[in-house]
Amino acid sequence: MSFIEVTNVSKRFRINKRAGGIPGMIANMFVPKYEYKQAVDGISFSIEEGEMIGFIGPNGAGKSTTIKMLSGILCPDSGSIKVGGYTPYKDRKKYVGNIGVVFGQKSQLQWDLPVIDSFELLKAIYRIPEELYQKNLNRFTEMLQMESFLYQPVRQLSLGQRMRADIVAALLHSPKIVFFDEPTIGVDVVGKETIRQFIRELNETDNITMIFTTHDMQDIEKVCDRLIIIDKGSKVYDGELSGIREKFGTTRQLDVEFTQECEIEPVENVQVIPLDNRKKRFVFENRDVKIDELMNELLTKYSIRDINISEPEIESLIRKIYNGEVS
Amino acid sequence: MKLTPYLAFAKKSFLNRSAYRFNHFMGILNTLVRIFIFWCIYRALYGERNEVDGITMAMVTTNFVLSIGMDALFSINDYYLPNRIGNGSIATELLLPISFKGRMLFENLGNTLFQLIFHFAPALVVCVVTVGVLPPVSFGCFLLFIISAVLGYGVLWNLSFLLQTFSFWLLNMWSLMTIKNVFLNVLSGSMIPLWFMPDWMAPVMNLLPFSSIYFTPVQIYLGQLSAKEIGTKFLVQMLWIGVLYLCGNVFWKKGKKKLVVQGG
Amino acid sequence: MIRDVLHLIGVYTKTIMKSWFQYKVDAVLRSLAVFLRESTGIIVVYFTLLKFDTLNGWNVYELLFLFSLLFVTYGIMILFFTGLRDFGGTVRNGGFDRYILRPRGLLFQIIFVNADWFAAIGHGGLGIVLFLISASKVGIVWSFDKAMYYLFAIFGGVLIQGAIFLFLATLNIYLLETGSLKELFYWNARKFAGYPLSIFHKAIQTVMLYVVPFAFVNYFPAQYLLRKEDMAAYPEIFLYLTPALGVAMYLLAYVFWRFSLKYYKSSGN
């Protein structure tokens, strides 16, 4: 039995279709019309304690619905969810003391008050013992370099500072699982790096299970070990980050710099993209074209100064998965 | 000054209003509830009496229907300027080649026209059927009533504008506007017909513009004023428009200067 | 357990107070504006009664006493139930999901996270001022029994309005916009409640007795203490129903709330 066990979970939403105008409104009051949207369609996965999961998919894929079910805000229509022995949507009060949630777009801090006041409030809400509170507070503020703005009102903080404070707010009660929903959105490059490093470090030292949703592939590449991709309510990939290349990254590209300008004869199954006068890019599928044969052909026919083979970036692969270009 | 762009603003605000139908319906209900409450109170106060100080129950009812009706009709957005100063959009709107105040007035007029057709008119019909409303004493009085109501609108608009210009300096406009509304409600005749105000309040009312807004038109409608008195009241209304307009302009210019110097 | 809850309430209250004192001038102005706005009706009644002496047998002080019950109960109620008044916004901006993610009771959080001190001081302060002005002049011979009755009536009046708020707040789980419904069922009904029930049309009286029972918030408690003639039109038992009705309505609204929470969890928003 894994730490988090999601088995065949489905969730369908009923959307009220409103007709316009007063007649429509009245008609809707008596005979409402509904549309159904399958947000999550039979998803299963399991996560071990201490894992660092990137949970991604295009908008409307069912990510946030799944996260909401995992955190106990919603209950599934069918299937079962077990997290550390709890059923999230049933044992709410006991369960949520073990989790932390960071919504990048929605702060849980008191807008008008210094950061520390929000922390004190959370201490009371989560019944955090004084000793643990002090220990966590000191440790996290040091790691995230928050000393300078701990006593400043939240409304005066930059987005990056606010996000760091929000992350600490979700961790003060030493949760076993933390959900990060877009934790770096709108944060500048340096701020993002600080946040990523902190998360990695915490995962390694404290063995906290972390689940990430993000649109920033850098987040995923730098932070997560494992990736779960969902699309249209179903899981389309579950495995290591590097596995994506093996599974989907069948495209290769060859950037060739010639010694002089020249015309290239068409090659079967290879797409030729001119980069500048003397540079050309050759794009092809692994299974169709043998790379050594292609290079041989080029070297014999033309005079070449430099050759560079590259794999596609993860980001473009994932975009392809979303677009249904690979399967 | 070309009118076309301003009429476009008036049309836009007229059309915008038609989007929120349920709220609009609730608005009419609110107006009717206000009128009905005061009608019930005065019915109980009058009891068996036909008149008090020469004022009949029908006149009281007409006063409430007209002044509460005009209140709903005028419905000036007190936060038009404060909102734009608050979110900073005032800076770009001042750059447009049209008068900001003109645009503000015409957007409000579009709204008022909407209120006249879809709020005031139906509410009036309901009132005529249920509580009863006196007809104007004569056609002439009715025309003078219209003129006086337009002047009353002018007084209220300029008063609101003057207070709105304070938002260049004040953050808390809500409190200021709320306190203005307290004065408006008590001293304009929409909650207590001004005939029944104690005599010692007369100087207060004469020194403030509020009775010029709804009560003057109502008095003319009911034929309570002689030709000479009507002339005087018109002058008073115009005087208030002038005074409030000038004060509003002073603050408006100072505020704009502050905006340019400090960048908001 | 109890200590822990009280401690949390204390921290919540401290946090609200601190936010409030961030803008001192603003806070004072807001409370003052609420106070004055709510006084409007009182000033009007005062002026009107200078002319007419009595309204259906009620003199000006008796009317002020009637008003005072309305304001005192609202002032107390809003201190606890601001969160319910603003619940629509909380659901729409995701704040409610945040409550679900915390290991505390949901209604508990909604109640204690928010408190509108401006409204509480404005309404409650006005209620107390009116009570002080009128209580000695309406001929009530205060005894222990009457004081207890008064306290229970306040308690019931708070709960009746709280139940209406809770019911209207719960509707936000099903409907997108409930502002207009609140206007209709709460604020408009409340406008009638400032005056003796007996002056209104039968249909309005029915609404105030059985649909949105504001009559039990102030009219009948005031009647118990003042015994005006127009009480003859209503059964004697109405004088004693306020606390029981408050508890019953609140429980009913609470059951509806619990039921709707299940719906929220299964439907999302």
Instruction: Answer yes or no: do C30 and B52 touch at CB < 8 A.
Output: no
Q: What is the DSSP letter of B136?
A: P
Confidence bin at A327 (pLDDT 50/70/90): very low
pLDDT at position A26, please?
A: 63
**Separation of alpha carbons C38 and C40, rounded Å:** 5
- Residue C202, pLDDT > 50, answer yes
Domain count across chain B? 1
Q: Sorting pLDDT into bands at 50, 70 and 90, what band is B97?
A: confident
Q: Residue written as tokens 């209207």?
A: C168
Q: Pick the range with the lowest mean pLDDT from A283-292, B87-96, B229-238, C222-231.
A: A283-292
Rounded to a whole number of angstroms, the distance from the CA of B211 to the nearest CA of chain C is 15
| Residue B171 in contact with partner chain C when CB distance is under 8 A | yes
Q: Which residue has 């029930």 as its token pair?
A: C197
> Would you call B139 exposed, middle or buried from its count of C-beta atoms within 10 A (0-12, 13-18, 19+)?
exposed
- Structure token pair of residue B127: 């009132």
Least confident interval from A210-224, B24-38, B241-255: A210-224
Average pLDDT over residues C48-75: 94
- The answer to whether residues C80 and C115 touch, using CB atoms and an 8 Å cutoff, is yes
> Which ipTM score applies to this complex?
0.87
String of DSSP letters for C22-74: HTHHHHHHHHHHHHHHHHHHHHHHHHHHHHHSEETTEEHHHHHHHHHHHHHHH
Quote the CA–CA distance of C244 and B159 in Å, as a whole number. Answer: 49
pLDDT of residue C1: 79
Which distant-in-sequence residues (6+ apart) come within 8 Å of B121 by Cβ?
none
Q: B186-233 pLDDT, tens per residue?
A: 999 999 999 999 999 999 998 999 999 999 999 999 999 999 999 999
- pLDDT at C214 > cutoff 80: yes
Q: What is the mean pLDDT of chain C?
A: 91
pLDDT above 50: residue A251: yes
Nearest chain A residue to C20 by CA distance is A112
- Determine the Cα angle at C131 with ends C125 and C135, to 5°: 165
What residue has token string 């990060």?
A180
CB A273 within 8 A of CB A266: no
- Percent of chain C past pLDDT 90, that is, above it, reads 64
pLDDT digits (tens, 9 = 90+) for A175-198: 999 999 888 888 888 889 999 999
Domain span holding position B126: 4-262
Mean pLDDT of chain B: 91
- Determine the average pLDDT of the residues in C152-171: 95
Domains and CATH numbers, chain A: 4-245 (3.40.50.300), 250-310 (3.30.70)
**B1-57 confidence digits (pLDDT tens):** 577 888 888 888 888 777 667 778 888 999 999 999 999 999 999 988 889 999 999
Instruction: Name every chain B residue with its beta carbon within 8 A of the beta carbon of C36.
Output: 178-179, 182
Find the closest chain C residue to A113 by CA distance: C19
Strands A52-56 and A226-231: parallel
Mean pLDDT (whole number) for A23-30: 63
pLDDT at residue C130, rounded to an integer: 95
The pTM score is 0.83
> How many Å apart are CA B44 and CA B36, to the nearest integer?
12
Per-residue pLDDT tens over the stretch C216-239: 999 999 999 998 989 999 999 999
Q: A 10-69 residues with CB below 8 A of B?
A: 21-22, 25
What residue ranges in chain B does DSSP mark as E strands? 51-52, 55-56
DSSP letters, C210-250, are: IIS-GGGTTHHHHHHHH--GGGGGS-GGGGG-HHHHHHHHH
Identify the band that residue B264 occupies on the pLDDT scale cut at 50, 70 and 90.
very low
b/e map B56-67, b = 16+ CB within 10 Å: ebebbbbbbbbb
Residue A56 buriedness (CB in 10 A; 0-12 / 13-18 / 19+): buried
pLDDT in tens, A121-133: 999 999 999 999 9
Substitution target in B45, B130, B196 with the highest count of C β-carbons within 10 Å is B45
> From the CB of residue B240, how many other CB atoms can be counted at a distance below 10 Å?
23
